[in-house]
Amino acid sequence: MKQINIGFLMLMAIAQPTWAEQSQDFIKSYAIQAKQDNAAFLGFDSHRGELFFKSKHEGGDWSCSSCHTENPTLSGLHAVTKKEIEPMAPSVNPARFTNSSKVEKWFKRNCKDVLSRECTTQEKGEVITYLMSLSR
């Protein structure tokens, strides 16, 4: 009988949050990484995620809601290109947070625009927790 190396599986879950293909999987993966980053981590908070999503950061001109709207169940509009952006809330747009490569690509790009840096794992987890809390 083959033994499963639990340590290896945990390491891979931490090192590869890109394996997630459902919103809940992203939350689980980010929670593992957030706990590794900060032993005091107790979980993601949708209220903090909402504040992060709607706030301008460190002297910047944009927030996430600048393009994605104050109501992420609605379509947004890119502030520069004026290209329509489909709703962010998975309750309205089930395709959201189903492709790990896209999720990481867009977090990286948009966080750099809004924060002038990449988002932390905790920030990503809280934003997704907030967006998952929204109903139609």
1 in any annotated domain? no
Q: How far is CA 92 from CA 42, 103, 115, 133, in A?
A: 28, 17, 26, 11
Residues sharing a CB contact under 8 Å with residue 54, sequence separation 6 or more, in sequence order: 63, 64, 65, 70
Tell me the residue length of the chain: 136
Q: Is the pLDDT score of 1 beyond 60?
A: no
Contact present, 85 and 129 (Cβ < 8 Å) = no
In this prediction, residue 88 carries a pLDDT of: 94
**pLDDT tens digit sequence for 99-133:** 888 999 999 999 998 999 999 999 999 999 999 99
41: its two tokens: 């981590």
Domain tally, the chain:
1
Domain that holds residue 76: 6-133
CATH number of domain containing 77: 1.10.760.10
Is 104 part of a structural domain of the chain? yes
